[in-house]
Structure 1
């Protein structure tokens, strides 16, 4: 869920009733009454993605999909929107490993992508950043004094530090970097 332009936004997700990923976008100005903005956003059905507000846009980063046949796959792309209805592909193949269940935060004029899970590599502990959502820089490849590889964690920027908290595979750890 995001807060953007004085409204709450739900972007994509997982439909437990049907066992499939969603490409719906919903918005609410009060958290009680919700309006469907689109039922088929251009980013495609996905869940376990990361979403942030950056540069007056909503961003959707990577994620995964379950289709109606029970197949699962991961996305390696980044989309943004200024209205929740029209989504623009920012980059089709960011340089970081394809992932889901990662986190993204905005701090110091950049989007930061942290950890997650890759079907190819398993749990991840790398950190990437971008000042435009298109060009990405590896800040930490996970090999030097990094947090335990984890996914489904929480990340937040607080007190001029990037915090990585809990998640699968982390044994309840709390890490931070300046």
Structure 2
């Protein structure tokens, strides 16, 4: 295989070895899984739920320096049930888990949000502050994206029950725990309905790529500007070509 690209060149090394290194941590460690959520904070990687032969509820922390896994509690009343295709982000010592279930009795009348306090090492109630009277909040969903921008979590899209792919765009203010909708469902100026896409934050903007709309695969690329609250469709050039 030959690889041609513009910009800096990358070498596989004289021995042909890749830049990846497989880690072999001591036991115990998480079982094989997919559709889980993970995030990093303060030198640790956290993994929650997912699916192997069934939906999982376990919660793990991996210490990068010690190369060691530790299983954390996920059985309290404030902890989530089994989850898959959910999201998890970290902000100022707190993990925020959203979505991942479509048919649980637990979330029929509640927003599917769970909070883990890293310092206290326990799940805590995610109730909004008493002064907040929440008129709207996102329904439970799978396959959405969630990123941290400033002091808020931005949630886009996802697969919502029988409604299918969603175009909803929500913000959760970490200080007030209040939700606000950033764009309406009927707004056609943004990325539109999708799930199983990816999103990252850079320089006060959120970048969103691909995903599924129903069963159709997408490869469009979008930028959300947090200052103007505007979406921009980005056109890209193919800079990497591979031949076999």
Residue among 55, 66, 83 paired with 2:92 = 55
Please identify runs of 4+ aligned residues in structure 1 that moved more than 2 A.
Answer: 30-33, 38-41, 72-76, 91-94
Shift of 1:39: 5.4
The whole-number CA distance in structure 1 between the counterparts of 2:48 and 2:121 is 11
2:44 corresponds to which residue?
A: 7
Point out where structure 2 has 5 or more consecutive residues left out of the alignment.
1-37, 129-133, 226-244
Do the aligned partners of 1:63 and 1:99 also contact (CA within 8 Å) in 2? yes
- Rg: which structure is higher? 2
1:155 corresponds to which residue?
A: 199
The whole-number CA distance in structure 2 between the counterparts of 1:58 and 1:167 is 25
1:95-106 → structure 2 map (5 Å cutoff): 95-106=137-148
Is 1:174 aligned to 2:221, yes or no?
yes
The whole-number CA distance in structure 1 between the counterparts of 2:177 and 2:112 is 10
Is 1:20 aligned to 2:80, yes or no?
no
The whole-number CA distance in structure 2 between the counterparts of 1:11 and 1:118 is 21
For 2:219, what is the secondary structure of its paired residue? coil
Do the aligned partners of 1:117 and 1:151 also contact (CA within 8 Å) in 2? yes
Residue among 182, 190, 201 paired with 1:139 = 182
Shift of 1:89: 2.9
Cα root mean square deviation, aligned: 2.4
Report how many residues are paired.
168
Moved more, 157-166 or 92-101: 92-101
